[in-house]
Chain A
Amino acid sequence: MLYQFAVSPDFSPNFLPGWYVFNTWLQKQTKQNFHLEIYQSFQAQQEALSRQEIDLMYASAFDAAMLVRENGFLPVVKAEGFSDEAVIVASAENPINEIIGLSAGTKVAITANPDVYMMGMIMLESADLSANNIQFVNCDTYVTVAKQLLRAQADVGFFLAEAYDAFSDTIKSKLKVLVRSQISLIHHCLIVGSNLTHQRAELQKILLGMAQNEKGRSALKSLGFSSWVSVDDENMAFMIDVMNALAS
């Protein structure tokens, strides 16, 4: 059987080759066929999910929560020491240095990433800003968000911290971070769908052992982290609780 493996479209492009290396490693270890599909947008991924075309997925926290709660997916592992965080960024030329300096009518550039949106809105709340009194500028990618800031078409932008940090120093020198989340509760997660749930324990065992040999370590390195750690049903249930608590 050929299983479909999807990787959340919000990871840094620097790791694109890494996911192909990982997929090859995974096929060797499991002696099974996985086809890696990297969707260009959350929209395209959503359509594949609704056609039940995904068996294994490196999912954003929001997608993982939804798929586990509603579509019978099960959590397997997450990257050790990594959590999803957001930054709110302005142009370096913007006189404002703190969230508290922002006022109603602020133009906020965002992507379709729901986790980053949720974290960004929580950070704006302390300055009395909400969806009711700001204007959104919708962007396809984080690069577009950065461009909107540089062209002064938006006042601030929301980024996945990891994606922002991966920008070149030249771009970062023209921007400034107003606030960075330190939430540590929300993370991407590798999850399995109904065709693969019977292999969850086996997959988990293989992945947890990945850092124990040279080939595995180098594949992990190309993904930007050093090992996988397990995510059990309770860990996932708690992350879902957290996301519900933060949702508004």
Chain B
Amino acid sequence: MIYDMKPDDIAGIYQATTLHLFCGISRRVFYSDIETPFPDGKLIVSITDREGIITHVNKAFVEMSGYTDEELLGSPHSILRHPDMPAFAFKELWDTVSVGGRWQGYVKNLRKDGGYYWVKATVIPNIRDGKIVSYTSIRRKPSRAKVEECIEIYRRLSAA
């Protein structure tokens, strides 16, 4: 499940907004300017079912998102949706993977404590016997220059 964020969980000075998620839920989110750097040498991994509900997470995912395993498993992946991300990016992601393709992009993710972290994500469909059974996302530490470019592009896309 996915719930509104709680002010008590948030670290530092924050802003508030409401996200209208694809699953029909509106979520109150709080977000700060505190960035958590991606740890060197690690990968963040999660698997979702065909609807984008999280079914598996690795340790690095738990550490970076600030949520527990229990909070993540069974929740829609939009639990990490940051208000600075343009809807366009996720539409492109879903349009690509749902027809069997592989999507790569830079994503700003929202932590449970209102902070954020940037990743370079690769999302692939898990195809067994010719059918898509689930999706996997593997995130690596992004290049800083690429993140700076994306900040600019996403700002323009969100304003448009």
Interface residues of A, Cβ cutoff 8 Å to B: 98-99, 122-123, 125-128, 179-185, 234, 237-238, 241-242, 244-246
Contacts and interface: CB of A to CB of B under 8 A. Distances in A.
Contact of A126 (B58, B122, B141): B141
Interface in B140-154: 140-146
B interface, size bucket: 20 to 34
Interface of B: 38, 40-43, 45, 58, 60, 102, 120, 122-124, 126, 128, 136, 138, 140-146
Contact of A245 (B122, B128, B146): B122
A246 B138 CA distance: 8
Nearest to A244: B124
B140 A125 contact: yes
A237 B124 CA distance: 13
A242 B58 CA distance: 13
Nearest to A234: B128
A184 B124 CA distance: 19
Contacts of B41: 123, 179-183
Contacts of B143: 125-128
B43 A185 contact: yes
Contacts of B128: 234, 237
Contacts of B102: 244-245
A238 B58 CA distance: 14
B138 A242 contact: yes
Contacts of A98: 40
10 contacts: A125-B142, A126-B38, A179-B40, A183-B41, A234-B128, A237-B128, A241-B126, A245-B124, A246-B138, A246-B140
Contacts of A244: 102, 124
A128 B145 contact: yes
B68 to A, nearest CB: 19
Given A126-B40, A126-B142, A246 B124 contact: no
Contacts of B40: 98-99, 123, 126, 179
Given A122-B140, A126-B143, A246-B138, A241 B43 contact: no
B145 A241 contact: no
A40 to B, nearest CB: 30
Q: Which 6 A-B pairs have the closest CB atoms?
A: A126-B141, A245-B122, A128-B143, A181-B41, A245-B138, A179-B40
A98 B41 CA distance: 12
B136 A183 contact: no
B42 A183 contact: yes
Contacts of A237: 126, 128
Contacts of B145: 128
A184 B146 CA distance: 26
Given A125-B120, A245-B102, A245-B136, A182 B144 contact: no
Given A126-B40, A126-B140, A246 B126 contact: no
A208 to B, nearest CB: 24
A85 to B, nearest CB: 8
Contacts of A123: 40-41, 141
Contacts of B146: 128
A161 to B, nearest CB: 10
Q: Which of A123, A126, A185 has the most CB of B within 10 A?
A: A126
Nearest to B38: A126
A122 B38 CA distance: 13
A181 B60 CA distance: 12
A123 B58 CA distance: 19
Contacts of B126: 237-238, 241
